[in-house]
Every structure is written in C-alpha cells, then in structure tokens.
Structure 1
Amino acid sequence: MTALLYSAFLRMPCNTGQLKELLVKSNTFSAPEWAKRAVWYQIFPERFRNGDPKNDPTINDIEGAYPHDTSSPWQIHPWAADWYELQPYERKNGKDIWFNLQRRRYGGDLQGILDKLDYLQKLGINAIYLTPVFESPSMHKYDAATYHHIDPNFGPAPEWDRKIIASETGHDPTTWKWTSADRLMLHLINEVHRRGMRIIFDGVFNHIGLNHWAFRDVAQRQQASRYRDWFKILSWQNAKTGESFQYQGWWSLKELPEWRQDENGIVTGPRDYIFAITKRWMDPNNDGDPGDGIDGWRLDVAACVHHQFWKRWREHVKSINPEAYLTGELIDPIAELQPYLQGDEFDAVMNYNFTFACSEYFMNERTRIPAGEFDRRLRELREAFPRDVAFVMQNLLDSHDTDRFVSRIINRDKRSMRDWMDYYKWSCGNGADYDGRKPNAAERQVQKLLALFQMTYLGAPMIYYGTEAGMWGANDPSCRKPMVWEDLDYAEAGYLPNGEQRAHPETVAFDQDLFEHYRKLIRVRNTHPALQVGNYHTLLADDARDLLAFSRSHENENMVVVVNNSGADQRVIVPALQNSVYGDLLEDNHRFASNSEQLEVDLKAKSGRILIRRG
C-alpha cells in the first residue's frame, strides 16, 4: 500500500497486563524452515513484463481508479519511453506529469512473469512476493474489486473473464468459478514450485476499492443492501434531509472504503469472505494438500486491523498449510512490532528498521552513525523477538513505497528515512531538493557493498524488482517504473520532473555488471547454510576506521564477513580460529591464513570480503 500516511495510524490499545504477556518471548515459536533460506524478489506485476499485449487494459478498465479521468485521450504507454516525458496523448489533457503518471498503464501481466522465471532462477531467487494481483482498476491494485479473482487484464481473456465474474454471487463461494486469469495464476504457482521456489500474495484486508461488488451494492441500495453492515458508513443518502452517502476510507481516501471492525476485528461478513478466499488461494482444489496453492501472505497496512483478527486468521492459515509464511507491513519502532511477532500473528515483518539502520550507516556521510552504533541497533532488532523471527525477517533496502536505494545514496544526508512521514513525502521527488539523476560509479560501489552486507546478514534478503538491473528513481510513483530488460532499447532519461530537459541526457539500460554482482552474492548465500541459518557474532565494530566484521557459523561451516565502509583502502585484523586458512568466496578463493587467533585482511575502499574457513 502507499505508505505515505502509514505511521500515523492509531493503534488498538492494549492494557498493561496484555502487553506484558505479549512481550514475553516464546521459546516454542517456530518459523517456516524454508523462509530462513529465502532470497525474496518483490514484483510489481503491472510494471514487470508485458508478456501478452492482447490482454492490455482499455480505457474502460481503469474506471474507478484515481485520478478518475476516462475521457481524455489514453493508450498503453510505451514500455521503454523516458519516464518524465509526456507522450503526445498525454499532452492533450493539459495536465502535469504527476497527474499523468497515475493514468499510465504499461500492460505487465502474468505471462510476463512466467516468461521471466528463468531470469529469476538465474539470479538465484527462490521466493517471490507479488504486490496485489486481484481484480482492480488501478495500476497498483491496492483497491480490489474482488479478492477471489485475479485481475482479468493479467490473464489471456479479459472480456470472457468479466462475464464469468458477473455471473457469480460475490459472498457465496459455491457460485465462484475459475477464470482464465485465475487458471494462469495457478499455472504460475505450479511453475514456481516446479523450480523449487515459493510465492506469496499481498493481502489487502483493511479496505477495498470503489469497484468492489459489495461496496457497489451498498452505494446503489443504501440501507437496503445486504452488505450495509460491512463498511464504516458515516451517513446514508437522504433526499428529505439533504444528507449524502458518506463512508470511511483508508486515511479518508474515498477510493479505499474500509471494512467495518469491532472488538474482534473485521466484522462477520467480510471476515468470512476473507477466510474463504484465503482457502481458495492456499488450497485451490480443496483436497487438503496445499502444494498447488500460494505459500503465504504479505499483509498490507497490518496495524489498521485489530490483533484479534490476525490471531484468528493465522490459525486458519496454519490449518491449511502449517509451513505458510506470514509477513506484515509494519513501519514502526520495535516496541510496536513486538505484539505482532510472538508466534500467534505474523512470522515476520518487512524489516524497515533494517533499512533505516543500513541507510544511516552505509549511505550517509556527514550524518553517518558509527559502526558500533550500527551494530547496537541491529543487535537490538535481532534480540527483540523470539529467536526464529530474526532468521525470516524480510531484509529489504527498497520497495514500492520507497525511493530506489541507490537514489537514496545519491541523496544521502538530506533527510532521515527514520522520520518516515517526512522522508516519504520529500523523497517522492517533486521538489528541487531531491536529485533524481543516474548514479555514478562511486555510488554504485556503495550499492554493491550494501548488497554484500544484505546477502550475508541474519535474515532473508529481499530485492525489489530492477534493483539488480540498475534501476534508479525517487519514491512513489517513480519507484514503479517499467522494468529495464536486456532485450529492449530504452529512450534516454532526458526530462526532469518539472518538464525541463536535462543538459546531458542519461542512458537507460540493463546493468550487466551489477546483475552479475548480485548473482554472485546470491549464489554464495544459497550454497552456504551458515549464511542462511547460522549464528551471528560481531567480531569488530571500529568507529574510528569505519570497519565492521562478523562471523556466521552453522555446524562445521565457519564464515567471516569483513566490511570496509570507509573511503580508503585498509588492512583489517579480526579475531579468527588459530592456525586456520580462509578462502575469499568473491575472489576465486583467494587464501588468508590466521596467526595467533588473528586474521589480517586487505580491503579496498567501500568493499568487503566473504571468507570461509578451509582448514
């Protein structure tokens, strides 16, 4: 979900006794084992790959989505066009770039994801997180028209699918059928599983969109609707009193009507619907074997839904598939995360606190925190929850709700990402203070160092689509550009957000060197259990020299990671097993020998080494 207003949500209060009980660490909680070994890849389907132009949306298909303009000229936007350049059809409406960015559709679909599974497998990805895929008129699809059908424009026969959907009774699962888009999704799930990969959906269960069948019925029938108690209705339409139909939208956004909640969370009608669609997508043929269904859920704006709902829903999910993975979108301090991560709600969260700490240490210069403080913040995060949680946290550096992290490197020191609301608004890039240019070689080197740390630290690394290909950009909507592929020729980035032309247009192309860097790091992680499930121990946090070293160990595998975050080449001495030989996994197994329980390692500026004990 757009995270602009996320951290301002009011939380459901707990009494002191409940809070103390929640904060007692559980030694019995066990996270899904496969999730400890996951390397996540987040896909924004509409912007990943157009695999079937025949299913591209039409102007009618975007009705109900902001900015609510279906009368101006419109077409599928050229995939490889300059992002900030208005196309001829857009200039005709007389509106600025920010209005037009919301109207654009590029035609990404499920076939495009299927076509690129080999690419993901080559990269080393073994877990996919799809942002919303259910029927919706928007490009982001956080405004669902239904939860039990895949968006028809993601499948091969949109018009046929819409006829099927129209024949159903939304609240009655016995009337539900499988559309062509649904079946293509089941095929995608099967192909993902066949490759030994996992896949999770985005569950947007706090709210829906204007086109949702239940909300449309309420808007039309008012108090006579059978769904009148499903929503937070503020006033009904009344010709006598002049009152208009008003309802509560997520953060007062009328495009996102919220489900009604009581002390147990989402009320009976929508709750039963959510439970039914959960079973539909986790065990599609309803045979008790979840192998043909999705492997879990990412839960949007999770703090907006009462804890009691999540507890009951988790029981439902785990009864279908005990190894299902649940991760919440929670951009909050540790104390506010703890109630969700005690083993009875979520397995993990999108680890924005990891993102914040990494930004403060690796990206900033003038305002950089010392190595020791960075280590302390990560230790606090590791130790705040039951032990298994740290191993399955989604360690992201960017997402569909942040600027690309290489652009954060470019704009270092200007704002603190930890001040989430302020940073979110500023990093959208519509002000002169945010620099949306292409990264230079030095900034790419910082990105490479951060990727090394991300792939070797405790937890499950997550890559946002295109980061490995060299994509850059400001926050939403500019973090949602079409994926850069090797087989496409892209226009130069010649325009600025204000419509002016750049003095020197920038080349846009797939970055093969960066891709190979990520591929090598992921291969190292995937082939060494110590980096997936091993213990973590800090060996060195040198504030003066900006050095960091830590060990990862599992059974007989012992590894040491050394990071030089300074701008100078350095020789580093770290503790090591006496009289041992270590090989560098990034440099053709270059060997280092320990002496008197110390290991001397040379490191170039802004670089690191991944060492494994060979004997």
Structure 2
Amino acid sequence: MKGIYSDQTSCYLYPEEPSIDDKVTIKLRIPKYLGKSIGSVIFTPQKNLKNYQHKPMQLSKETTYFYFFESTFKMPDRIVRYHFEIDLIEKGKKMFYDAMGIVENRTIHDFVLVADFKTPKWSHGSIYYQIFVDRFKNGDETNDPVSHEYQYDGQEVLKKDWNSLPDPKNGHREFYGGDLQGVLEKIDYLKDLGVETIYLNPIFVSPSPHKYDTQDYEHVDPHFGVIEEDSEDLNEKYKVRTTSIKNLEKSDEILKSLIQKAHEKGIKVILDGVFNHCGSFHKWVDEMDLYGEGSLHRDDSPYKSYFYWDGTQKSYEGWWGFHTLPKLNYGNISLWKYIADIGKKWVSEPFNADGWRLDVADDLGKSFEMNTAFWRFFYKVVKKSNPESIIFAEIYKSPLAWLERQCWDSIMNYITCMDPVSYFLTGMEKHNEHYKPELLKNAEYFVNSVRWALSQLPMNSKFIALNQLSNHDHSRWMTRTTQKVGRLGPKTHEEASLGKDLDVFKIGLVTMFTLPGSPGLFYGDEIGLEGWTDPDNRRPYPWGKESEENKMLFNFTKELIKMYKEHLALRKGSFDFLDWNGGYVSYASWNESENIITVINREEKEIDVELPLWLLDKKEGKIDLLFATKDFNLEDNSYNDGKKSLKIPEKIALVFKIN
C-alpha cells in the first residue's frame, strides 16, 4: 500500500525545530486511490507516555494524486512522540503510520520531536573527508618519529618508508610521518574535490599513530606539529619532544593555522574526542614516568580516582582489557569539568574547531544514566562556547535514547549507510570478516534496515549523521567489493584488490551520497584505495604514484560531488523508497522545488522497471538524467500517467530529476 507519507522536513512539519510553546503543524499525505479517508494524529508528551491523545486532522490541500491532512498543537515540555491513525472509510479498515511507514506486524516506532533542539544549517548534508593524519601527507620531515625513539606496548616503535605498507601485527607502532603541515598543503586539493568538512582522527599528544590513547588532551602532538626542542639521546628523545612547552605551543599554532586556512576556503574542521579512556602514557597514569605525578607510580597521586583499580590499587581497568587504554572513571565530578573544558577549549578562540566526533561514546561510564548525564553536560558546555559547532558520536546501535536527551547532535551513521549498503551490494560485513549471501541483492532487507535506522534519528539528527563506506576502523569499501572474507596476515596486501568490482564500488558511492545524511569519504576513497580492516585500511596515500584507475575514480568522485551540491533535495529533503525487488531498488528525495530519483540495479542482467512517479505527485512531464555510474542512453525522456518505463542495464546506479 504505497503513497501514505509524512516526515519531519518543512513539507510536513513546521517549524522544523520548534521551541517550547511554539505552535507546531504536522501534515500527513494520503493517496486518493484509497478512497475517502480521515487522518488523525496520536501523540503523547514526554511526561505522559501512557496517555496518548487522539487528535483529528483537517483536510488542508488536494492535488492530482493526494489528499493532505494537517493538525496543529502547542509544543510541550521537551519531547512529543507521535504517529498517525488512518481511517479508510470506503475500505472499512483502519491502519497506523509511523516513522518507519505503514505499521504491519510490528510495534510502533513513533516520530520524535525534541523541543529546543537546534542544529547548525551548515551541517545538514555537509560533505566530509576523514583524515588519518599519520598516513595522509608528510609535510614536515623534521617532526617525524624516529625508529626506536621509545617503547610502546612492549616493543620499540618504527619509522616506515612512505611507499611501504602496514605490517599485520605492528600497525599501532609504525609511523609514516604524516602531519598537520601535510594536511595544510592539501587544502586546495580538498577544495577542488568538493570537500566541505574535514574530520581529523585524533591529533593530541599520544604514543601511537592512531592517537586513540591520549597522553595530553591540552596540546597537539609535536610529531604532527612542530619539534624545535629535541635530543639526540634516545633515552630522553620522546620525553623532550612531547613535553617541551615550546614544541607543544608551536604544534597548537599549526592546528590554529590549519583551521584558519580551511575556514578561508569555506571548509569546516571536526576534531576527534577520545574521552571514554585515555592512554597509559597520560600524565594521570604516566606509565613511562614522563611527568612524575602519575597514579601508576604514586598512591597519593591526585589522579588516582580518575580510574578503576583492582583491590591492590596497582592495576587499573583497561577499555576492553587493553592495558594501553585506561578506562576513565566518570564517577569523579572533577573529571567531568576537565573533559568538558577540553571540549570547550578547542571549539573556542583562538582555535575555533567546528565540533567533535566522540569515540565509543555509548561506552562511557558504567551505566546509561552516568553516560547520558555526562554527555548532556559536555553538550551544554561546548554549545554555549560555540553554538555553531556540532557533536556526533560513534555508536553502532540505535542512538535515539541519547538524542532525545540532547547528548549529541547526531552519529556516525553505520545503521543507515555502511551496514545496509555493504550487505545489499556485496553481502560483506564491514570488516570483511563475514560473508552473508542471503543479504546480497536483498532489497527487502535493505529497505527495512534503512527505514528502521531513519526512524531512530529525529529530523535534526538525520541530515547531520555521517554516512561512510570506509573509515579507520573497517575495511576499505573497494576491498569489500571483492566479496572475500579475510584480513591482513592470513591474506596479503595484494589480495585486498584481487577481484575488486569497480561497478559495485561506484554504485556504493552513489548510494552513500543519495541516502539521507552527510556523505563522508575516508582519505583515499576518492581514488579507490584498497585495504583489509585495521591496520591495512590505513595505508599511506600514494601522492604522485596514482594509477590511471585512481585518476579515473578521482574524476568520478568529483563529478558525483558536483551533482550532489547542485541539488538541495539530496542534502536535506524528504525521502522514501519507491520500488524494490531482488537487486533492484529505487528511491526519491524531494523538497518543494525539486524531485530526485535514484535507481540502483545490482543484478548481473538488464531489468525492466516502471518508476511510480505518481508517488511524487507527477502525472506527466520530463525525466532528466543527472548522473550515471556508466553509459546510459535515455532514449525518451517523457513520462505520462504518473509512471515511466525504463530498461536498466546490469550493475548501474542512475540519478534522475523529475520535471
């Protein structure tokens, strides 16, 4: 039963971001083919979850194919949850419609409206580029880590040649020399590609290349910044490099310059906040005795209460058991203030970063209550300092409970993008560690997965959520197209590209850019960089050694970004699936001024489809091709009677504009 629709964009909700006591109007669309109908909204304020109110809706508009109903209410304290009841009078039946669509054989997933939840306009559908700094570009060789500079996790660190590849077991001790100067040098490259927001993996002082084991939250790591004070004595080299005030302040200046130059180019910069745990080198623990006041060596350390200790007070709890990642104890209120002040520092003058990505955000603390209480505090402190900043969290499950409490603005969008797209197009789990053939070309599973995921994101969060197909934690999207199970060690670097499928790779990028959210490239995705999961996904960018295939994919990605930027309905618009079967799916993105349709055929054969354009309230007109992953000839671009028949070639993605 297609055609019933509502969402929380301006076409169906006004205002989109209401404050307490605002008059809020919500709309519902019911297709005329269902006959005479009446819509009602069923809603409950946060304080009265067991007492849903039933409010009739009035007919507000009639178009070629639809009736539109609306209802107005006053925004109560904090939250409203609502869904719709539809009385199909001529059919003698009633049905319910919620944030997932028509309710059949499942529980209700209410639309959620959060009062005073405001998000910056720049963040809606922004195009991200994630940079793992050590592997992106070496702009200053004088700050490179030196082989044997120090021991980390039981072994000495190594400096690697830029043209070599990561070792399967030593990735967290191998350095290539990438730095912030390298990012600065490539700002024009990113601008030319079309990037709007840079997301930097952690950049603060830390003994690893990944820097998720923070040593000092208050300064940029001199190995990424500036080393002026140094020592030739390997016994003290690391200490001098990472604790010299001159080095630390000069390194902070490099970040300030990078953000300033990015802003001049119209590019935002997001930092990575690792606040669930710190690193064993942090001054609060001080495994290497670099600072002289760490709780590992001193029972009277003022930082002892920042961690969880065993009965002997000699061994702390590590996150997931990792000794190098001491779990922080948020039962300590002084830790709350310190971490919130760090959040505030980097989004304020003189640095002016544009927000935070929060690492393993749902793990913080020992209870949901502690977790949400701290993040609400952090959120308020950061937003007060910089209202135009954003906060999004790493989480692999529904974030709704956190978003309702205004802990974050949004999430890394695994649930809407990386997981369902990967399974639909390749059958591969995001680490390349499992193959699920039953999910390959399973449009029903794909549609249901995306619909559920979108129901877990209030409208404010939906368009900020970071859509990715690759990142620092999972295998490269190109390697998933090989449909091989494996990882580096049992498999070789070369096997990460054997059997790769460029058609599927391109379809994936188009899907990522056309699903609701903010499309995000992991450095090198634009040229099809391959790699198994960590550490192979962190290969150095091959500057100056790009192949013809790399250059072709760069141009493809650049054209895709250009198309995306020209059509605001893709950045922030209503979204619904039109038709699907097997390896075929079509969906629409629309606003009051344009209608975009994406068609995906993952089948290995040509298929005949009939696009139901009446679902966009279009009876006759023209359909124009905006983008295709390979050659496609639209012989006749006219349509009539609300539908358009097309022959769709095998393994292709197409984007059309409906006029």
TM-score by length of 2: 0.73
Q: Which residue of structure 2 aligns with residue 91 of structure 1?
A: none
Distance change in 2, residues 1:475/1:236 (3 Å): same
Greater shift after overlay, 578-587 or 159-168?
159-168
Say whether 1:540 aligns with 2:579. yes
The answer to whether residue 124 in structure 2 is matched with residue 36 in structure 1 is: yes
Deviation at 1:437, TM superposition (A): 3.5
Asked if residue 431 in structure 1 is aligned to residue 490 in structure 2, the reply is yes
Return the offset for 1:454.
0.9
Q: What residue in structure 1 maps to residue 211 of structure 2?
A: 141
Structure 1 residues 338 and 47, CA, compared in 2 at 3 Å: closer, same or farther? Answer: same
- The whole-number CA distance in structure 2 between the counterparts of 1:251 and 1:268 is 23
Measured after TM superposition, the shift of residue 586 of structure 1 is: 2.2
Greater relative contact order (CA < 8 Å, ≥ 6 in sequence): 1
Q: What are the equivalent positions in structure 2 for 1:293-332 lying under 5 Å apart?
A: 293-305=352-364, 306-332=371-397
Contact 1:66 1:138 in 2 (8 A): no
Match of 1:574 among 599, 611, 617: 611
- Give the CA deviation at 1:205: 0.4
Identical positions, percent? 29
Aligned pair in 2 of structure 1 residues 223, 197: CA closer, same or farther (>3 Å)? Answer: same
Indicate the residue corresponding to 2:566 in structure 1. 527
Instruction: Give the Cα–Cα distance (whole angstroms) in 1 for the partners of residues 639 and 475 of structure 2.
Output: 42
Counterpart for residue 366 of structure 1: 437
CA 339–512 in structure 1, closer or farther in 2 if over 3 Å, else same: same
1:552 aligns with 2:597: no
1:104 has 2:174 as partner: yes
Q: Does 1:50 align with 2:138?
A: yes
Residue in structure 1 matching 2:155, options 64, 68, 72: 68
Aligned with residue 190 of structure 1, among 251, 257, 260:
260
CA positional deviation for 1:294: 0.8
Specify the alignment match of 1:516 in structure 2: 555
Task: Tell me how far 1:561 sits from its aligned partner.
Answer: 1.4
Aligned CA distance change for structure 1 residues 381 and 529 (closer, same or farther; 3 Å): same
Aligned to 2:162: 79
The structure with more radius of gyration: 2
> Which amino acid is 1:69 matched to?
E
- Which ranges in structure 1 are unaligned for 5 or more consecutive residues? 1-15, 85-96, 169-175, 238-244, 286-291, 415-426, 490-507
Alignment correspondent of 1:288 = none
Q: What is the CA–CA distance in structure 2 between the aligned matches of 1:521 and 1:339, rounded to whole Å? A: 34
Deviations along 1:359-383, whole A, 9 cap, x unmatched?
A: 2211128322521331121111112
Greater per-residue strand proportion: 2
Map of 1:394 onto structure 2: 466
SS at match of 1:428: coil
Residue 594 to residue 428, structure 1, CA distance change in 2 (3 Å): same
Compute the displacement of 1:510 (Å): 6.4
Using the alignment, how far apart are the partners of 2:353 and 2:405 within structure 1?
21
Deviation of 1:113 (Å): 0.6
Q: Are the aligned partners of 1:145 and 1:209 in contact in 2 as well (CA < 8 Å)?
A: yes
Provide the residue aligned with 1:410 in structure 2. Answer: 482
Q: Aligned runs of 1:103-122 on 2, under 5 Å? A: 103-122=173-192
- Alignment pair present for 1:281 and 2:281: no
Residue 181 of structure 1 is matched in structure 2 by: 251
CA contact (8 A) 2:172 2:210 kept: no
Aligned with 1:581: secondary structure? strand
Q: Shift in Å at residue 204 of structure 1?
A: 0.3
Letter in 2 for 1:438: S
Paired residue type of 2:420: A
User: Where does residue 492 of structure 1 map in the other structure?
Assistant: none
**CA distance in structure 1 between the aligned counterparts of 2:193 and 2:391, rounded to whole angstroms:** 24
Secondary structure (helix, strand or coil) at the match of 1:586 reads strand
Specify the alignment match of 1:26 in structure 2. Answer: 113
Letter in 2 for 1:349: I
* Structure 1 residues 323-362: aligned runs within 5 Å: 323-332=388-397, 334=398, 337-342=399-404, 344-353=406-415, 354-362=417-425
Aligned partner of 1:601 in structure 2 is 646
Counterparts of 1:571 and 1:515, CA distance in 2: 31
The SS at the match of 1:293 is coil
The answer on 1:131 being equivalent to 2:201 is yes
Tell me the alpha carbon deviations over residues 485-510 of structure 1, each in whole angstroms, 9 at most, x when there is no partner. 2x137xxxxxxxxxxxxxxxxxx776
Counterparts of 2:494 and 2:454, CA distance in 1: 34
SS of the counterpart of 1:279?
helix
Would the aligned equivalents of 2:295 and 2:303 in 1 still touch at CA under 8 Å?
Answer: no
1:249 has 2:318 as partner = yes
Give the match for residue 470 of structure 1. Answer: 528
- Contact 2:466–2:518 under 8 Å retained in 1: yes
Of Structure 1 and Structure 2, the greater helix share is in 1
* Cα distance change on mapping 1:369 and 1:570 into 2, 3 Å: closer
Conserved? CA contact 1:428–1:477, under 8 Å: no
Instruction: Kindly indicate whether the alpha-carbon contact (under 8 Å) linking 1:583 and 1:592 is maintained by their aligned counterparts in 2.
Output: yes
Superposed CA RMSD: 2.9
CA contact (8 A) 1:549 1:562 kept: yes
Tell me whether 382-391 or 531-540 shows the greater mean CA deviation.
382-391
Q: Is the 8 A contact 1:145 1:211 kept in 2?
A: yes
Contact 1:126 1:198 in 2 (8 A): yes
Q: Tell me the alpha carbon deviations over residues 116-171 of structure 1, each in whole angstroms, 9 at most, x when there is no partner.
A: 11111121111111110000111110111101100101113253797697477xxx
Seen in structure 2, the aligned counterparts of structure 1 residues 62 and 566 have a Cα distance that, compared at 3 Å, is farther
Query: Are residues 397 and 312 of structure 1, via their aligned partners in 2, closer, same or farther at CA, if it must alter by over 3 Å?
Result: same
Q: Quick one: structure 1 residues 165 and 407, their matched pair in 2 at CA, closer, same or farther if it must change by over 3 Å?
A: closer
Contact 1:80/1:488 (<8 A) preserved: no
Please say if 1:226 is aligned against 2:336: no
